[in-house]
Amino acid sequence: MLDSPGYFRDKDNEHKRRPMTHPSFEFTHALCRLPATSVTDGLRASDHGDPDPVAFAAEHAAYISALRGAGCVVNVLPADEAFPDSVFIEDPALVLTGTAIVLRPGAASRLGEAAALRPALLENMNDVIDLTTDGYVDGGDILCTDDRVLLGLSARTNGQGAEDLRSIVESLGYTLEVLQTPPEILHFKTESSLLDRQTVLATPALAGSGAFKGLKVLETAIGEEAAANAIRVNAHVFLSAGYPKTAEMLDGAGYSVRILNTSQAALVDGGLSCMSLRYSR
């Protein structure tokens, strides 16, 4: 049923909801998809070689174990060989207050991922809304605080997609802030992550863009910009291996840091945030 311009609901008589009162980094559940062997055909901005499917599977298993260790019930979907990048499950959907929003990824080879993911969203989420737009929105361009959705325009997310998403976000009680990601950055969350209710981790370049108005910003160490794609999961901050200065800075700031290897995901422009949809019931 068409609920209002731009999206469909699966449930009738919905009313405007407010964001959950618990912090936006607290999760009870996560949804992941196993990496396909076709991940060797995954998209990448620069070619540094193909990921090894066996090594990628081992990294992914450790990632799932870390999510479970942080207190999440993790539902793992089978690999989808038709979509090489489908392990990056965050890009075709956004979850707010237990409601999944089916997005429209901005890479042509990934457009079908949203429809392929939808049945699992219906099974695992409280509600599912389909974004209807001729524009594009990638989940990797969205950073959520307790009451704001920061969306960075990029090569994968455009203005029309952002504006068509606005009414959905507002119906769930959030404010949508549309920002401009510097053109050399693939996704907004490639260089930023939420650490707590008032603090983000970001690269110096993104921190200097003015995107984080009203928030405290901790900057990654020089030369460790890739560390910015971290995730806070309950009591822990997951950080990719290989960035000791940033890890030391976060530890000194009082965060419980968990180091995970993401070297295979990085070969196809992936990182910690994009390999799970984290949510609370």
- Output the pLDDT for position 141: 96
147 is in an annotated binding site: no
Grouping H, G, I as helix, E, B as strand and the rest as coil, residue 65 is helix
Q: What is the pTM of this model?
A: 0.91
Domains, the chain, ranges and CATH? 22-279 (3.75.10.10)
Is the confidence at residue 241, as pLDDT, over 50? yes
Cβ-based neighbour number of residue 22 at 10 Å: 11
- Output the pLDDT for position 45: 87
* 101-135 pLDDT tens trace: 999 999 999 999 999 999 999 999 999 999 999 99
User: 101: buried, middle or exposed (CB in 10 Å: 19+, 13-18, 0-12)?
Assistant: buried
127 is in an annotated binding site: no
- Output the pLDDT for position 117: 98
- Output the pLDDT for position 240: 98
* 8-67 pLDDT tens trace: 344 443 444 555 557 899 999 999 999 999 999 999 988 999 999 999 999 999 999 999
Question: Contact, 27 vs 72, CB < 8 A?
Answer: yes
90 is in an annotated binding site: yes
9 is in an annotated binding site: no
Which residues are designated catalytic?
187, 274
- Going by C-alpha positions, the residue among 230, 238, 270 that lies closest to residue 86 is 270
- Output the pLDDT for position 18: 52
What are 8's two structure tokens?
Answer: 């469909």
146 is in an annotated binding site: no
What are 168's two structure tokens?
Answer: 């959905």
Is the confidence at residue 1, as pLDDT, over 90? no
113 is in an annotated binding site: no
Q: Cα separation of 220 and 224, whole Å?
A: 6
52 is in an annotated binding site: no
Q: What is the dihedral of CA 122, 128, 132, 133, to 10 degrees?
A: -100
